[in-house]
Amino acid sequence: MRKLELHWQILIGMLCGLLFGFVMTYVDWGRSFVQDWINPFGTIFVKLLKLIAIPLILASLVKGISDLKDISRFRNIGLRTIGIYIVTTIIAITIGLVLVNILQPGEGISEDTITRLTETYASDSGVTSKIEEASRQKDSGPLQFLEDMVPDNAFNALANNSLMLQVIFFTIFLGISMLLIGEKRAKPLKKFFDALNDVVLKMVDLIMLSAPYAVFALLANVVVSSGDPDLLVALLKYAGVVVVGLFLMIVFYCFIVAIYTKKNPFWFLKEISPAQLLAFSTSSSAATLPVTMERVEEHIGVDKEVSSFVLPVGATINMDGTSLYQGVAAVFIAQALDFDLSLGAQLTIVLTALLASIGSAAVPGAGMVMLVIVLESIGFPADKLAIGLALIFAVDRPLDMCRTIVNVTGDATVSMVVAKSVGKLGEPHVEEWDDFYEETKRPKNK
């Protein structure tokens, strides 16, 4: 029998998880059963993905740079990547702002709903912790991000998943220095990183074998942990605007793929879909990164020279979905709480949401922390922040899941565009987890 393709397996896992979670909300012991006995398997899966993220960035970026025939090409790739990331993010925020201004989801929301949402969430620790986190991040100077990018201890950086930019900095430094000592002297180190890279990609294949079961656990847990369904329904119009915006972004990527890279966008979506489905299930582009890298390199044919830089950088600084959401959420809150927004304020949103997307961590809920900074930049009263966030908190998790899909798809699209522009978009070369399995069973030659 032909094996079902991975994205179908994951999709079935997700649907069963949703259904199971839904049924469990009707059973007395259902919630705690899912949280205690099902969710840990999802958490283990996410941990496994995070476990290999740093070794993968290290090995693949060193490999990517040391394969370069010409160092100046790296500068080329770097500048293009950052430039395109900024453009796509500005397009995303603009789409969000146009939609929210035309459809005005905040106008129809009743006083009663606002009161209920405020009572339920304004003092919720989820909301207050986001405001505290934002004020911590805001207190830094304008060049803080540059300072933060440079590690003072390589091993410290490698030991901390949230210091991804530091790891990228160290690895680029290492890779360039390897090029500069000449091929012959760098050979042993290059061989080591090449092999490490192959091994980590194999680990991705192995982890992905459990993906359909893991997404079942993750989604069942999302359902049993979600808030009051009535409040979710009250926010349907706002959530709808965000989802329509995110959908338009995917359409935009498809156009870019079709027009610039001359590839079939449906093929692109199909090949990238396991990464998108994991983005949805984990709400974290950082956790999804190993899978995104594997799909883009092996299934789409982007050369490692490009993907090893574009994707890890993208996971940390390029968040089109998050910035679109921030634009919509900021204006929605202003509309609902009768806070007037001038054109200047909306332009400020574009700028701060752009910076916020660079500064947001690639983890669940990070976009909401940066939303606080966006709201403050337009002069939103500090004492109303908690109320503002309370308005959107109930639907934040599902929207986070959706915007993470866009974050990941945006990175993959840009990697294709950059690869095409430097002649590094080749043919796919898929490796399965068991390609060399037989070799491990054969008796070794004496």
**Residues at the interface with ligand ASP (CB under 6 A):** 283-285, 319, 322, 360, 362-367, 400, 403-404, 407
Please say which residue, 175 or 410, places its beta carbon nearer to ligand ASP.
Answer: 410
* Tokens read off for 207: 């982890």
* Tokens read off for 221: 């847990």
- Exposed, middle or buried, 177 (CB in 10 Å: 0-12/13-18/19+)? exposed
Nearest approach in angstroms of CB 361 to ligand ASP is: 7
Nearest approach in angstroms of CB 322 to ligand ASP is: 3
Please say which residue, 7 or 403, places its beta carbon nearer to ligand ASP.
Answer: 403
What Å distances lie between residue 331 and 53, 98, 120, 334, CA to CA? 35, 10, 22, 5
What Å distances lie between residue 150 and 110, 112, 147, 164, 350, CA to CA? 49, 50, 6, 11, 27
Q: How many CA atoms lie within 13 A of 100 on its CB side?
A: 28
Nearest approach in angstroms of CB 288 to ligand ASP is: 8
Q: By C-alpha distance, which of 408, 373, 372 is closest to 393?
A: 372
* Tokens read off for 194: 């090449």
Please say which residue, 281 or 284, places its beta carbon nearer to ligand ASP.
Answer: 284
Helix (H) or strand (E) holding 240: helix 236-260
What Å distances lie between residue 144 and 71, 148, 352, CA to CA? 28, 6, 16
Please say which residue, 211 or 278, places its beta carbon nearer to ligand ASP.
Answer: 278
Please say which residue, 179 or 392, places its beta carbon nearer to ligand ASP.
Answer: 392
Q: Please report the sign of the dihedral spanned by the C-alpha atoms of residue 425, residue 426, residue 427, residue 432.
A: negative
Please say which residue, 178 or 370, places its beta carbon nearer to ligand ASP.
Answer: 370
d(Cα 395, Cα 261) in Å, to the nearest integer?
36
What Å distances lie between residue 173 and 56, 152, 169, 204, CA to CA? 16, 13, 6, 26
Please say which residue, 166 or 285, places its beta carbon nearer to ligand ASP.
Answer: 285
Nearest approach in angstroms of CB 441 to ligand ASP is: 40
The 10 Å Cβ neighbour count of residue 359 is: 21
Nearest approach in angstroms of CB 286 to ligand ASP is: 6
DSSP 87-106: HHHHHHHHHHHHHHHHH-TT
d(Cα 235, Cα 255) in Å, to the nearest integer?
31
Please say which residue, 197 or 288, places its beta carbon nearer to ligand ASP.
Answer: 288
Tell me the β-bridge partners of 425.
302
Nearest approach in angstroms of CB 404 to ligand ASP is: 4
d(Cα 221, Cα 201) in Å, to the nearest integer?
28
Nearest approach in angstroms of CB 53 to ligand ASP is: 12
Please say which residue, 341 or 406, places its beta carbon nearer to ligand ASP.
Answer: 406
d(Cα 395, Cα 178) in Å, to the nearest integer?
48
Q: How many residues does the chain have?
A: 446
Nearest approach in angstroms of CB 360 to ligand ASP is: 6
* Tokens read off for 397: 């998790």
Position of tokens 């639907």?
A: 395
Nearest approach in angstroms of CB 35 to ligand ASP is: 21
Nearest approach in angstroms of CB 439 to ligand ASP is: 38
The answer to whether the beta carbons of residues 383 and 226 sit under 8 Å apart is no
Please say which residue, 197 or 307, places its beta carbon nearer to ligand ASP.
Answer: 307
Please say which residue, 10 or 186, places its beta carbon nearer to ligand ASP.
Answer: 10
Q: How many CA atoms lie within 13 A of 339 on its CB side?
A: 20
Report the amino acid identity of residue 322. Answer: T
Nearest approach in angstroms of CB 76 to ligand ASP is: 27
